[in-house]
Amino acid sequence: MTSRPPDPRHILITGASSGLGAALAVAYAAAGVSLVLGARRIEQLDSVADACRKRGARVETARVDVTDRERTAAWVRAADASAPLDLVIANAGISGGTGGGEEPEEQTRDIFAVNLAGVLNTVQPVLPAMRARGGGQVAIMASIAGFRGFPGAPAYCASKAAVKVWGEGLRGWLAEEGVRVSVICPGYVRTPMTAVNRFPMPFLMDSDRAARIIRRGLARNKGRIAFPWQMAFAGWLAGALPDAVVDRLTRGLPRKS
């Protein structure tokens, strides 16, 4: 029987100024825990850091744009050099869709730059160190939207599908070296990203609850943390059904702004 690894004590989180990133930071904050938090909005990040410090955690913050490959890599490597990172959560992401009647090229490129390249820029720099010491955990924020491309948000779906599959491949590749990899596939979570949606969001849950689910799944080293199960099943089914059926079902769905 494989023993459960100890709780992470040195954790790096991107996109930690709001939403799931902020909720995860607070969920992990405790005495003896060191958090390295990055985001573009430093004022909001400082508020999250204060909340974490009140729970006893040691917190370092930095203004980080994950699309900047060199600076993100330097930040991640410096954090790992200070104390080996037990857990890296590549959470930073943006959204957008075809609610305005089109998906502009710049919007598409921006989404891929943050959601895909930003994940690579966060995870790749720490992998050599984790592999060398034979331990560590990487969590990649994907989405149930990555189970199938939907006409309301083509670039968002595609970017999340890419990091989901990449993370699944990493998991199988690095398992024998002691590096654990999980992909996180939430449904609708109450965050600033979903606050702009003007359509029904089934099974919408608070970010605090989502963070608890994610933390529990990471502690169990689950390969895919997809929730709620109803949305996960619907996403899986959409990916399994014939295109002709799914096209008819999704053509009339609301478009994301």
- Positions marked catalytic: 156
CA 15 to the chain's CA centroid: 9
Q: Which two tokens stand for residue 176?
A: 């024998």
- 42, with CB counted inside 10 A (0-12, 13-18, 19+), is middle
Enumerate the H helices of 55-126 as residue ranges: 69-82, 105-112, 118-123
Collapsing DSSP to helix, strand or coil, 227 comes out as: strand
Q: Which helix (H) or strand (E) holds 241?
A: none
Collapsing DSSP to helix, strand or coil, 64 comes out as: coil
Q: Which two tokens stand for residue 249?
A: 């079902």
Residue 162: C-alpha distances to residues 23, 30, 35, 69, 207 (Å): 24, 33, 27, 18, 24
